Structure 1
């Protein structure tokens, strides 16, 4: 059993990364399935959305189970089942069955975020917790980057089945490692300790009517839509519009994901140390730079320089995916001090709905217009609306210090 908190952090980040290789890797995989089975952009996007439906229904249930039984068993077993059910996609030869299996796969991913976060909270003191949570959070884009770079290469040289087996195998190994090496930092709570507060409905109501949170909730929805549209459609855009090879397109998506990983740490650090805790200004910067990156995509054509694509991918990932830590901290700091978990849960639920819907809606627009241009412009308009809403907030928003 591991007893050093930094070793625990490595283990928690590792299990998050291998889980993200499956969920974030659905973009590259769906692109390959689309090429093999002649699927439309909407149909390939539905595959990405299907895997994100599961957490919407399982996250709260698995979160409660983690409170009752501890992180070790729930997160470890969920990782095992995540890998096993992903491997089951190899047995599906029908589009509808594949969607159903992917929804089950996503359900087991629902333990990853609450389980990993609770592990860090248990093992790290307050003064180190923010950094530790930020590092663990990099497991998501890191897993996405590895998936984007490896899945195309594995699929070309060894077949798509091999790529799926690698994803599944890593998740299964991670589950066993977590069960063997992780030790709950404190006893799990009894059922009686987890009874719902009779005023819970009033708590949810007070948050829902807190208008100071509306702008940042909308920004979260718009930017998480961009994030998962990139996961679902960026490779398709590069291969269909710019005639980039699938392997190169996967590498560009990997650049986006790695840049997003760096952005989540760097932007949060800048907000803490240079801007004295102000979250609004760096969020607005993320919006402006994300829009500029999308706008630049509209002017690209076949034969575009690889270096230009790398540059756009870096900026798009750093700001278009790096905003997430700022968002979580802002929501936590501006919700009622005794209802932080409720506030964050509402924000994550809204984001999860956008994660499911945005890739499909984007694909429908692409199918309708036979082009990505209108879809990108529509996305820019939504992101810009969030920026305008943020500009109306007081310049000192986000300065209230709360122990997350």
Structure 2
């Protein structure tokens, strides 16, 4: 039964993320159809992530009190209804409002799906299970990147909303119909409100948050800039550039499963696997700042590498956060960690887009991301040195 639960949680994750994660691949078309710049495109991507700044905390609290079945199913259903209603949006402003509502629904899917999988798998297999489930996001993004541009080119951008809405509703229905809590599961009572933010004092959780903020910034930058970089710098057509984004997202699917499975079986800690992903991402970002970033072949290799590590880190990271949570606070701990990440998810796309519009190139945007990763590595090194025995699984 647990593998069925894992399959439906992964499907719902992919379905809920389908449209929002496909926005990057629609970048060239949306700029043309709506007459917007890269900064405005980045704002569209941020709109999906704005409500979760608070919504993830609310969802985490709900998950510690209510059945994940209804919390996740209701959120995915809201995404579907909002996107279908969005086909009536008159233009850019209307699309922004639609994506804000989508973000409210999506707030429940990430932490809810993670908690549902964690409750069915013990620590020896939790990383692998989390990796498979978290692979749903880049899987949904890859499928969206492969299909939505073609749908939009033939039927217009509103048709992409209709498609995304139908997919999200399918995910909601599947989760509500299939998911059940493990038999005999004892739900610990939620702790008092005053103890919630005390979780930030846990050393393992602080290290996870430090890695998470920097890596989610890179992941968000990939979704926004990959197609535009390959089109404008490497000289590829929008179709070929979108295909490489699909390949990078496919590498992210493999990375989330492989890195998480490795964190289950390796002698090193889950934290070490996440830190290794930081180092690999740093190398790739530096390469994009060299002439290799303008070579179609070399840039393709770099973006696939970035996909594997810059998206794949999330599987072991979620397992790390889950295991750092105290009993009865798993939902809130996951929601809190993801809410901290949301600050970067909301702020990074408009910033990177603005830098691209102002400078006329991509070097500054990639450089900012590389600097963020370097700061995280430096901060992580200091934290590890000052907290003995911190390599916790």
- Fold conserved between structures, TM > 0.5: yes
Q: Structure 2: state its 5+ residue gaps.
A: none
Worse-superposed segment, 73-82 or 16-25:
73-82
Contact 1:84–1:172 (8 Å) recurs in 2: yes
Q: Is the aligned partner of 1:376 residue 2:366?
A: yes
Match for residue 328 of structure 1 among 318, 324, 334: 318
Describe the SS at the equivalent of 2:302. Answer: helix
Alpha-carbon separation, structure 1, partners of 2:178 and 2:331: 28
Alpha-carbon separation, structure 1, partners of 2:202 and 2:184: 35
Which fold has the larger relative contact order, with Cα–Cα distance below 8 Å and residues 6 or more apart in sequence?
2
Q: Is the aligned partner of 1:278 residue 2:275?
A: no
Alpha-carbon separation, structure 2, partners of 1:127 and 1:213: 20
| Match runs of 1:1-400 below 5 Å | 4-185=1-182, 196-197=191-192, 200-202=193-195, 204-205=197-198, 207-210=199-202, 213-274=205-266, 276-300=267-291, 304-305=295-296, 307-333=297-323, 343-392=333-382, 393-394=384-385, 399-400=391-392
Q: Structure 1: state its 5+ residue gaps.
A: none
Deviation at 1:144, TM superposition (A): 1.0
1:104-124 CA-to-partner distances (Å, cap 9, x unmatched) read 011011121232223223434
Q: 1:77 to 1:371 in 2, by over 3 A?
A: same
Contact 1:67–1:189 (8 Å) recurs in 2: no
Aligned-residue CA RMSD (Å): 2.9
Describe the SS at the equivalent of 1:27. Answer: coil
Describe the SS at the equivalent of 1:321. Answer: helix
TM-score computed with the length of structure 2 as normaliser:
0.88
Residues paired across the two proteins, number:
391
Describe the SS at the equivalent of 2:312. Answer: coil
1:236-282 CA-to-partner distances (Å, cap 9, x unmatched) read 222233332221121111111111121122223333333x1324443
Alpha-carbon separation, structure 2, partners of 1:168 and 1:152: 16
TM-score computed with the length of structure 1 as normaliser:
0.86
Q: 1:185 to 1:287 in 2, by over 3 A?
A: closer
